[in-house]
Amino acid sequence: MNSADIQKKDSQYIANTYKRFPVSLVEGKGATAYDAEGREYVDFTSGIGVNALGYADTGWTKAVADQAGRLQHVSNLYSTMPDVEVAEKLCEYTGFSKVFFGNSGAEANEGALKIARKYGIEKHGEKCNTVITLKNSFHGRTITTLSATGQDVFHQFFFPFTEGFKFVEAGNIDELHDAIDDTVCGIMLELIQGEGGVVPVDQAFVTEVARICEEKDLVFVVDEIQTGISRTGTFLCYEQFGVEPDVVSLAKGLGGGLPIGAVMMNQKTEDVLGFGQHGSTFGGNPVSCAGAKYVLDQVMKPEFLEEVNKKAAYMKEKLEAIPQIEFTTGLGLMMGAELQNGLVAGEVAGKCAQEGLLVLTAKTRLRFLPPLTITYDEIDRGMEILERVLKG
Rule CB under 6 A: which residues touch ligand PLP? 104-106, 109, 138-140, 190, 194-195, 223, 225-226, 251-252
CB of 146 to ligand PLP, least distance (A): 10
Q: Where are the beta strands (DSSP E) in 268-341?
A: 325-331, 334-339
Nearest approach in angstroms of CB 359 to ligand PLP is 16
82 Cβ contact list (under 8 Å, min separation 6) = 67, 284, 286, 287, 289, 290, 292, 293
By C-alpha distance, which of 157, 155, 128, 134 is closest to 144? 155
Pick 54 or 140: Cβ nearer ligand PLP: 140
CB 225, min distance to ligand PLP, A = 4
User: Which one, 130 or 226, has the nearer CB to ligand PLP?
Assistant: 226
Nearer to ligand PLP, 54 or 259 (CB): 259
Phi then psi for residue 4, to 5 deg, are -65, -40
Closest separation in Å from C-beta 259 to ligand PLP: 8
Residue 374, C-beta contacts closer than 8 angstroms, at least 6 positions apart: 30, 31, 44, 54, 311, 333
Q: What is the rounded CA–CA span in Å between residue 147 and residue 322? A: 38
128 or 198, CB closer to ligand PLP?
A: 198
CA–CA separation, 277 and 265 (whole Å): 15
Minimal distance, residue 142 CB to ligand PLP, in Å: 8
> Measured at CB, which residue is nearest to ligand PLP?
105
- Residue with Cβ nearer ligand PLP (109 or 130): 109
Q: Give the shortest CB-190-to-ligand PLP separation in angstroms.
A: 5
What's the rounded Cα separation, in Å, for the pair 262 and 80? Answer: 16
C-beta closer to ligand PLP: residue 57 or 223 = 223
Helix then strand then coil, % of the chain, to nearest 5 = 40, 20, 40
